[in-house]
Chain A
Amino acid sequence: MSTIAPLEVRKLSKRFAIGSALRRSHVHAVDDVSFDLRPGRITALVGESGSGKSTVARLLARLYDPSDGSVLFEGSDVARVRRRNDVRRYRSQVQMIFQDPFGSLNPVKTIRHHLERPLRIHHIVPRSEIDERVHELLRTVGLVPPEEVAAKYPHELSGGQRQRVAIARALAVEPKIVLADEPTSMLDVSIRIGILNLMIRLKEQRDIAFLYVTHDLASARYVADDILVMYAGQIVERGPIEAVLSDPLHPYTRLLLAAVPDPAKQLHMERIEIRKGLAAAAVDPPPGCRFAGRCPLEIELCSRRTPALVEARPGQSARCHVTAPSTS
């Protein structure tokens, strides 16, 4: 396991303006987010809808420009590179897999076409070896026999097979980093595990650094080494996944854990307290903890000062005045 981080995210923020010119407000979709992605490790980015987790992935894929902060790839800031060649070079190292395997493939092109394109554009192999490489990629993601699959059109494949094609396409450029945004949420439950196992195999065999964006804590625990929990645009807890899930610090992580059905203890459904407060308020947020309104542990300080991410246990940090108080 390598310790060098090929991707370092530092104080990344993204604000979207909403409303009219006279009543302009900003959604703080991503606010002061920092983390590293390391080779051979899967980092899960977990949160509910609107938490900003997909925006983080899109910022890293350079589909959006950040409002603040930087993304260091092998030491240089790529968040703002504009030159075509630089963008192309970055994109050949950082690939994204989307949620919808139906929308991300061109219906009138064969599978071969989808895999050849990145090989040609990024000059991965000499022209004479393209066919061979296409077949190898299909074998890698478990689509056999490759000659047959390559000649098919997307509609001839099942959802799970299409997602495998999307993964093969991402792998074509031999990326160091793969951003997977809810790659299994549109697939049938019986084939989700297959995609997750493929991710694990790729991280082990190819030393790829994965960012696995999901709302599903159980699948995060299944594949990931580290976890980042997002709430209302901020990372509220981070750490090694087993540590965080077996003994969470942040009250929001605890709430999420209690809310998820766990087949391992099915007959002991935990009762959660129903709170009236609105979820994830990130429109022009006032100072203070964004979870304060829903939090059972709230103290006076919480509505006054935004908690910092504090390492309360080795490797495990949380943004909470109560469970991870700042020492300074």
Chain B
Amino acid sequence: MIAPIEESAVARTSAETLLELRELEVDYGIGDKRVRAVDGVDLEIRAGEIVGLAGESGCGKSTVANAAMQILRPPAHLVGGSVIFQGEDLVGKSTEELRRFRWRNVSMVFQSAMNALNPVMRVGDQFVDMMQAHERISKRRALGRAADLLEIVGIDRQRVRAYPHELSGGMRQRVIIAMALGLRPELVILDEPTTALDVVVQREILQQVQDLQRELQFAVLFITHDLSLLLEVAHRIAIMYAGEIVETAPAARLATEPQHPYTQGLLESFPPLSGPRARLTGILGAPPDLRDPPSGCRFHPRCPHCLPERAGLYARQTSERPLLREIAPRHSVACHLVEEEGAA
């Protein structure tokens, strides 16, 4: 049985902030056709912490990850905010400085990363390439390390000689995770790392990531649409909606005391596998078109607590943007209702 490490345990091992995103703003396109995909996101990741970022497609969660890695490509571009890694702002760093920083300090695994392996190169040689790009290491030593890394993710070390097509999808994804861990980065960003895989393989990979994380103590930013998965693996979870973080809390607290109506609706969208079979409602409507986001609180058109009868509150909900406010230690919510009444 794996229980997420207690919040206090994380705080004990280190309270050092590893990565801090401040007022992050990312646009797609320019001029009139500009779409603000990420709108003022603040997020902090401490050393050795697993932070989950959950939201629906198009909410901007992957864009946040790409901005953190400074790999935004046109038409996406950073228009504001800073990405502070171990006290240094990455925004404005030269390509060469960023190249050294990536993989060594922060590595990233994408959803379809298993397709990123070069099909005509042996797996081991791809590890060698990656290592030699960052440090002086002989091919023989690099291959030895590659074999060790494969073993860590549960793949036979002989497989350094295999070509990607000789491995299953799950194994290829594990190879990528092994590569991402290869230079012992302080932070690993996992962007839907198991979404394309079957549940049993998904669970195997997550178990290995958790084991490795506990052993090597790297921090993880885990991005997925599957909140039920995050509740199991993350220490802390941030919920994104339409380009903004609407709630962030320790995983256990988010599961039992979600405050934002969107978080509540999202939790209500995953039917349970045990306990009573109650009717769920999900969330009415659909996520907004970011070319024309709703005024005020972006969730208000879908919010069950946004009612014209309550004129004062309604006016705020429809015209004023709610800000993230801390309502309990490490638990913040951006909601007018919570602000006025203490609970949604």
Residues in A lying within 8 Å of B, measured CB to CB: 48-49, 158-161, 188-194, 196-197, 215, 217-219, 221-222, 242, 245-246, 255-272, 274, 278-279
| B252 engages A267 (CB within 8 Å) | yes
Q: Determine the chain B residues whose CB is within 8 A of the CB of A219 once the complex forms.
A: 271
Shortest distance between the CB of A39 and any CB in chain B (Å):
21
- Chain B's closest residue to A259 (CB) is B203
Q: Determine the chain B residues whose CB is within 8 A of the CB of A264 once the complex forms.
A: 272-275
Shortest distance between the CB of B267 and any CB in chain A (Å):
7
Q: Which of B101-109, B116-124, B282-290, B335-343 contacts A (4 or more CB under 8 A)?
A: B282-290
Which of A189, A256, A271, A278 is close to B56, meaning CB atoms less than 8 Å apart?
Answer: A189
Q: Which of B60-68, B86-94, B141-149, B224-232 contacts A (4 or more CB under 8 A)?
A: B224-232
* B168 within 8 A of partner (CB): yes
Digitize B243-279: 1 where CB-to-A-CB distance is under 8 Å, 0 elsewhere.
Answer: 0000000011001000000000111111111110101
| A160 engages B286 (CB within 8 Å) | yes
Among B57, B269, B273, B277, the one with the most A-chain Cβ atoms within 10 Å of its Cβ is B273
Q: Determine the chain A residues whose CB is within 8 A of the CB of B274 once the complex forms.
A: 246, 262, 264-265
| A189 engages B269 (CB within 8 Å) | yes
| A190 engages B282 (CB within 8 Å) | yes
Shortest distance between the CB of B161 and any CB in chain A (Å):
18
* B200 within 8 A of partner (CB): yes
* Contact A257-B203, Cβ < 8 Å, known A263-B231, A269-B232: no
* Contact A191-B2, Cβ < 8 Å, known A255-B200, A261-B228: no
| A263 engages B279 (CB within 8 Å) | no
* B3 within 8 A of partner (CB): yes
Q: Determine the chain B residues whose CB is within 8 A of the CB of A272 once the complex forms.
A: 200, 203-204, 207
* Contact A257-B154, Cβ < 8 Å, known A48-B200, A267-B255: no
Helix, strand, loop or mixed for chain A's interface?
helix
Shortest distance between the CB of B193 and any CB in chain A (Å):
14
Query: A194-B284, A261-B228 given. 5 additional CB < 8 A pairs?
Result: A222-B277, A263-B267, A265-B274, A270-B1, A279-B168
Q: Determine the chain A residues whose CB is within 8 A of the CB of B268 once the complex forms.
A: 193
* B4 within 8 A of partner (CB): yes
| B2 engages A269 (CB within 8 Å) | yes
CA distance A219 to B273 in the complex (A): 9
Which of A222, A246, A267 is close to B3, meaning CB atoms less than 8 Å apart?
Answer: A267
| B272 engages A278 (CB within 8 Å) | no
Shortest distance between the CB of A189 and any CB in chain B (Å):
5
| B57 engages A262 (CB within 8 Å) | no
CA distance A190 to B270 in the complex (A): 9
Shortest distance between the CB of A283 and any CB in chain B (Å):
14
CA distance A272 to B200 in the complex (A): 9
* B281 within 8 A of partner (CB): yes
CA distance A246 to B274 in the complex (A): 8
